[in-house]
A = this chain, B = another copy of it.
Amino acid sequence: MIQFYTPDIEETLTLPETESGHCCRVLRLKEGDEIESVDGRGHRFRSEITLAHPKHTKVRILQRTDVEPARRHKVTLAVAPTKNIDRIEWLLEKAVEVGVDRIVLVKCEHSERKNVNCERLEKIIVSAMKQSLKASLPQFDGFVQLKEFLKGEAEAVSAGDGKQRFVGYCSDEVERRSLAGEYAPGSDAVLLIGPEGDFSPEEIDMALKSGFTAATFGEMRLRTETAALYGLQSVHIANDIAHAHAEK
């Protein structure tokens, strides 16, 4: 099944240009054909094509469905982009597939990469949402300074948002706890993963002061993008396990 992304279908009754092209040029759909789409805000639509235009395909909405989120816990993934951008593109695709609610790319002291093409990454996030048939698009904050990100997190902590915050850190100069042991199923989480060169001591200090717990994600030495996905899945799987045992 093909799922289109139509963020403003209810207002415009029109597919975005790229989706119109995919619909008419690639798939050769015609007037009267039915399509499925999501608005990225939790709604799925079944529509009938009324005008098969390669740039501005018009539709009539036949059905609007509120898609219940598959999971209750929300996860924010903040990660320093890797030197090799393919690894981050891969991570974003996988993160969206397994489920993530907010993605932040953070610029760190030891980051080798100074720029990222956020537009391209946004496209990857959208196509991963479509491919995995999700109806909600994760919030993507782009590439921000670590200090800015931590400032916002510290404010959220003082506001008492009750999220659990973990920062993956390699150096054992700081006491670290196991993410698997510390995360409480059901709670929202914020995961922060540093660059290949790890965080600087000052950055870790700042993270701890901003409400993060220094964490290990396992016994293994993992690449940045593997650690990010492993951390994200640790949260999901802790919930899967709690949920499965609650059902027994």
A binding-site residues for B, Cβ under 8 Å: 70-71, 90, 94, 97-99, 131-133, 178-182, 218-223, 226, 229-230, 233-234, 236-238, 240-241, 243-245, 247-248
Instruction: Please report the C-alpha to C-alpha distance between residue A240 and residue B99 in the assembled complex, in whole angstroms.
Output: 21
Given A71-B219, A244-B181, A98 and B230 contact (CB-CB distance below 8 Å): yes
A229: which B residues are within 8 A, CB to CB?
Answer: 94, 229, 233
Q: How many copies does the complex hold?
A: 2
A247: which B residues are within 8 A, CB to CB?
Answer: 181
A245 pairs with B181, CB closer than 8 A: yes
Q: List 14 A-B contacts (CB under 8 A).
A: A70-B218, A71-B219, A90-B90, A97-B220, A97-B221, A98-B222, A178-B243, A181-B244, A181-B248, A182-B244, A229-B229, A234-B237, A234-B240, A241-B241
A17 to chain B, nearest CB (A): 27
A3 to chain B, nearest CB (A): 10
A226 pairs with B94, CB closer than 8 A: yes
A131: which B residues are within 8 A, CB to CB?
Answer: 223
A223: which B residues are within 8 A, CB to CB?
Answer: 97, 131-132
A195 to chain B, nearest CB (A): 16
A240 pairs with B97, CB closer than 8 A: no
A248: which B residues are within 8 A, CB to CB?
Answer: 181
A221 pairs with B94, CB closer than 8 A: no
Instruction: Please report the C-alpha to C-alpha distance between residue A244 and residue B133 in the assembled complex, in whole angstroms.
Output: 34
**In chain B, what residue has the closest Cβ to A99?**
B220
A180 pairs with B98, CB closer than 8 A: no
A220: which B residues are within 8 A, CB to CB?
Answer: 70, 97-99, 132
Of the candidates B133, B218, B230, B244, the one whose C-beta lies within 8 Å of that of A180 is B244
**In chain B, what residue has the closest Cβ to A238?**
B241
A240: which B residues are within 8 A, CB to CB?
Answer: 178-181, 218, 234
A218: which B residues are within 8 A, CB to CB?
Answer: 70, 98, 236, 240
Q: Apart from A132-B220, A233-B233, what are 19 other A-B pairs with CB-CB below 8 Å?
A: A70-B218, A70-B219, A70-B220, A71-B219, A90-B90, A97-B223, A98-B218, A98-B222, A98-B226, A131-B223, A132-B221, A133-B221, A178-B240, A178-B243, A180-B237, A180-B240, A180-B243, A181-B247, A241-B241
